Structure 1
């Protein structure tokens, strides 16, 4: 059987993790990497994530059976235009990992017109770390991997099945949506919340100058509520501009909600205010806990600890003995009890559950989730 070749353009966290998933399920496939950062390619090769450091798209694309663009949306659109003019294999399959889909799928019509198959893709998982060095074979495990074919046809469905076969080693949960539905859903559940979180943080800039103590108080719930505001500004500029129409509608609706609340306050309408929060509570309480979706899930364990030197190393030492990895540690400064509260963040629910059991067996600390 002829050896298969996969070309990954953009070898960072996502591209590297996809490469590992493909190698897991298709070990004889040659993975070729392309990236503007030569250091990423060298590191990826040394780590065994890719097999070959590619030269240029023009040289490597004609060899590939599968081409995956792991780049910002605008950059992917430019590369797709280049790809349409190259002598590719007759049965090559092309996909991407962009966070918006309508504009990419529209650009991909350039490929379908010349007989090149394309399926849009969006793996909905990430990490607080970045770069190919952070790539993990299980990054997408049980996370949703959205696919948006160029049309609803038997041929497009077959292309989706083929792409899922290539990506089976990621252990992701595949879901098929139209490009427009994808952008509307992610616009509401991911893009709008990122805008609101960033706006809340920006609102504090001048406020904390006037009220310096607010910075200490923001270390509690406000910090947790606005975690996503720490996202890459370059990436989010790209996402917002490529989902412009959807977001303008959502922002108009959000603006109206804020205007309504201002009216309730001015009129002291306690019934309307109560309904506003009651409706939100019912909707929020009905949501599944710790399911990977449009926003990154945070797997936090809170540990009540006594305040004495070495306590943090003691707790992390217990976890290290059981080979449990912690991705973030924080001491909560805002508290009402005598003990301190240590907030441990894990990559997934499985690690959190193991940590809870570990500390239960090895210590007397109270552990709980929120």
Structure 2
């Protein structure tokens, strides 16, 4: 009865072997010496070998204990049994070695994962440093080339305004407008350079204040001075809109008026802005040109694409394309925070800037060959796959 109770106690001890590994191991060894429980001993020693940090010292202790037990048996008058000694040694050393091998394999796997994580962090840091270096290089080039030339334009316009004086008032006013636009371009360029260039501590400069919808009237006045017959109709208060929505409205109107001045100089331009409780809608429609297009103005053909991406990020729609002999741009944005992207469709049609687009095939030109292969129309359909 006593043997059965002690054997059951040995089994219960194994349940707590991971919490008190060494103590339970010694108790199981003691029970093995008294009751001969090889299975419990093997499990306990395996657990010790796989979890105890100083395994070799523990192995030496157990080996010494085995030698002492055999020596005690001989001292009490027992005969030397080589097979018994080998069995005892294998019973003690075997589970310890197996547990040590398992622990070593586990430690190697953990070390490999740690090394992989370290390499990934180093790669991220290298990529980020490369981006910072590239941004700094771009900022230097923009400062050395673009800012330098725009600064010269401002100085020449100021000199022209002073030279014209009261003799030719129109020339003086035009020179003042050129100077004003040039200074504005320099201010925005410096703000962009500040974002691109990190400070000496390696941190990127904070974003400069962005334009907002309160400056839409300034855009319309500039367009009128550029020769467009622009008319702005506004419902609601755009100044109360979220900052990102105001910036999108400003940039969309700016790009639309720039394209109208480039491709349809002297045209009538109708601008409607409606600010509702949940959405804001901007529509810009220009008519046909009343003069020759400004072919000398360069274009990258990416303006409307950038506006489409901006609208998509805000959860809105941008629709742009020919209308009659003119061009139409519509921007629809939600005022509330946009919902997560649900895979709603975006279809972008690329063709001549003033051509019809039917199933991706450009048709007849509406305004002639002004420029090769820029953006003609950007449309968004909720039922089409996103490109």
Higher helix fraction (1 or 2): 2
